[in-house]
Structure formats: C-alpha cells, structure tokens
Amino acid sequence: MTPHDDHSQQRQPLLIPVVITTALLTIIGMGGGYLLAENRSGRTEPQPEQNSTISLLPAGEPCLERTQKMGRQFGADGELREVLQVRTAKRTVIWICQDDVGDLFYHANKGGADAPWVENKTALFLQRVSHDGAGTFTATAPTDGTTFTVNSERLVVAHTDGRVEEQDVVPE
C-alpha cells in the first residue's frame, strides 16, 4: 500500500494556511482600495476654460471709428459695439465696447468724442476688460498697473502707489 492510498494517515490541517492566505489577500485588497480612493479624491475634475462659452453682453450702436481702429490694432475680432457709455463729472467719457466673440475693450477720452484725441495723453484704450456680471467693468493699464473700474454710477482709478480717484457719472 502506498501512503497516498492509506486513509489512516493523519492529514495536514488546511484551515490555518487558508485563513492566513485569506487575511493576507484581504489586507492587500484593502490597501490597494484605499490607495485608489485617495488617488481619485485628490484628482480634480477638469475645469472648463474661462472663455469656453461665449457670453455676449447686450450691445448697442457700433463704437466710434477711432475705437474700431484701436480695437483692430489690439486684436479685436470683428466690429466693436457699445456696451456702456458714461460721462464723468470731470468731462471724461468712457466707452466699454465688445467685439464679435465677447472680448471687452475700454476707451476713454477727456472731453468726450468731440475733444482732441491723443492716445496715452487725453485718451486711453485698454484691452482685456473684465465684467463682474452686475454692470461693473475693470481694466488694467499694462504700462503702469493703474486699474480703471467703471459702472453706470462712477469711475474709480486706482493707482499702484495707493492713490484712488473717484469720479461720479453725470447724465449726458
């Protein structure tokens, strides 16, 4: 009789190796699951680009020809149309214009449309204007960092040295 045929031999207990293997595989699976969950929770969802959706503001008449010309020089796409026009108590007139893809531009002149226009002296053209969704527009001069914030009530000019000028808007 061979030892395999003899049922009288004592068998090695399988319970202990099976329990140890099960416990080890459970620990490995839990560790892998934890790491996978941490990896997924740390990953941010892809954010859409800011300009992925064009949101045009209600625009009126075409902006002045000199504003159209400046817009073309600064990369405006198509015709610029007026979104806001205000006159301050100091007789500065500000136009916020929008191109065909929704980009906004700031153009101002001391004395208004009929006064002499000298860019960067009596007149200022700025691109990359932001809109807060509530009627306030902000632009920053790239040359000195001065920020111009305008709405239907006032113009605020914040200089980089801390000076702030406020001009009330007056009816036309």
Tens-place pLDDT, residues 37-91: 777 765 544 443 443 334 578 778 999 999 999 999 999 999 999 999 999 999 9
pLDDT grade for 171, boundaries at 50, 70 and 90: confident
pLDDT of residue 36: 77
**Residue whose pair of structure tokens reads 């969950």 in the numeric block:** 37
Return mean pLDDT, the chain.
Answer: 84
Distance (Å, whole) CA 142 – CA 139: 9
**Residue whose pair of structure tokens reads 């099960």 in the numeric block:** 22
pTM of whole model > 0.85?
A: no
Question: CB of 122 within 8 A of CB of 116?
Answer: yes
Task: Kindly list the distances between the CA atom of residue 134 and the CA atoms of 105, 166, 167, in Å, as whole numbers in the listed order.
Answer: 17, 19, 19
- Which amino acid is residue 116, in one-letter code? P
8-34 pLDDT per residue, tens = 666 667 777 778 888 878 888 887 778
